[in-house]
Amino acid sequence: MLRLVGWILALALVVLPIVAVLNGWVGARHWPLTKLQATGQFERVDGALLQKTLLPYAQRGFFAVDLAAAQDAVSKLPWVEHAEVRKRWPDVLEVKVVEHQPFARWGKDQLLSRQGRLFPAKGIEVPAGLPQFDGPPARAGEVVEIYNESRELFAPIGLTVREVDLDPRGSWTLALDNGAQIVVGRSEARARLGRFVRLMPQLLAQQAQVLKRADLRYTNGFALTWAPMPAPAALPQQLQGQS
C-alpha cells in the first residue's frame, strides 16, 4: 500500500506541473505572450478591435493559449473573411487576416465578397457605388454571372446594370442606371437580354418618352412601359432676364 501511495505521489509530482502549464496556472506568468504580430492588408479591419479580441487568449500564456478559439473569435470580426492564429516561441502570437473584398450589396443587410461569400453589413461602412443583388444565397454564383454578362451587353450603349434580382421562383429582374426595370423571366435569360439590347439603341433614340419598364417574357416581342420625358428645369429669373 505504501509503495502504491508513493507511486501515486510521484506521478502527481510529474503530472500536476504539466497540467498547470497547459491550463495557464503557471504559464501565464512564466511564459507570457507579450507580442502580437499581425499580417495582411488592413484596409477595413479595426486593428484596435483585433488586439482587444486576442488579448484574453494571449494572457493565458504560450502553452495554454487556445489557438482554435482565438482564430474563431477573429474570424467573427467585421470585414474578416479568413484568419489564422499561431504562436511563435518564446512570446509571439501571430495572426494572419484576409479581408473581405466587397463586390455587391446582397438583400437588405448583407454584402457579397469578390470570393463569392456573403457576410453581414451591420456595423461596417459600406463602400458607395456597389451594385445591388438579391436571391437565394445558394445561387449567388448565378447572380454574379448574369450581372457580368448583362453588364457587358449594356455597356456599349452607355447603360450600367445597377441591380440584379432572382426571386424564389427563379425569375430574373434587372434595373439600369437610367431608371429602367428589365423583367427577364425564368428561361432563356441570356438570349432574351441579347435580343433586347439589340433593340435598345432605337428605343433610346426617341426623345418623347422615357422607358420605365421592359417585360421580355414574350416569344415574339417585348411589353414596354413608357413615362413622359421630364420637363426641363426652369432657368433662374436673373438668367431669363439676360437671355
Average of per-residue pLDDT across 50-76 = 90
* Residue 159 near residue 142 (C-beta atoms within 8 A): no
Average of per-residue pLDDT across 96-123 = 92
Mean pLDDT of the chain: 83
**pTM exceeds 0.95, yes or no:** no
* Residue 135 near residue 144 (C-beta atoms within 8 A): no
Q: Has residue 39 got a pLDDT over 90?
A: no
Q: Has residue 73 got a pLDDT over 60?
A: yes
Q: What percent of the chain has pLDDT above 90?
A: 50
CATH 3.10.20.310 segments of the chain:
32-99
- Residue 2 binned pLDDT confidence (cut-offs 50, 70, 90): very low
Q: At residue 44, what is the residue type? A: R
CATH superfamily of 32-99: membrane protein fhac (3.10.20.310)
Of 8-22, 41-55, 141-155, which range is least confident? 8-22
CA atoms within 13 A on the CB side of 130: 21
Of 10-14, 21-25, 121-125, 207-211, which range is least confident? 10-14
pLDDT score of 123: 75
pLDDT score of 17: 42
pLDDT score of 215: 96
pLDDT score of 8: 42
CATH 3.40.50.11690 segments of the chain:
103-228
CA 232 to centroid of chain Cα atoms: 40
For 63, counting Cβ atoms within 10 Å of its Cβ (0-12 exposed, 13-18 middle, 19+ buried), the class is middle
For 123, counting Cβ atoms within 10 Å of its Cβ (0-12 exposed, 13-18 middle, 19+ buried), the class is exposed
Q: Which CATH class is domain 103-228?
A: alpha beta
Q: Has residue 27 got a pLDDT over 80?
A: no
Q: Has residue 110 got a pLDDT over 90?
A: yes
Question: 171-205, pLDDT tens digit by residue?
Answer: 999 999 999 999 999 989 999 999 999 998 888 88
C-alpha cell at 193: 437580354
Average of per-residue pLDDT across 219-236 = 78
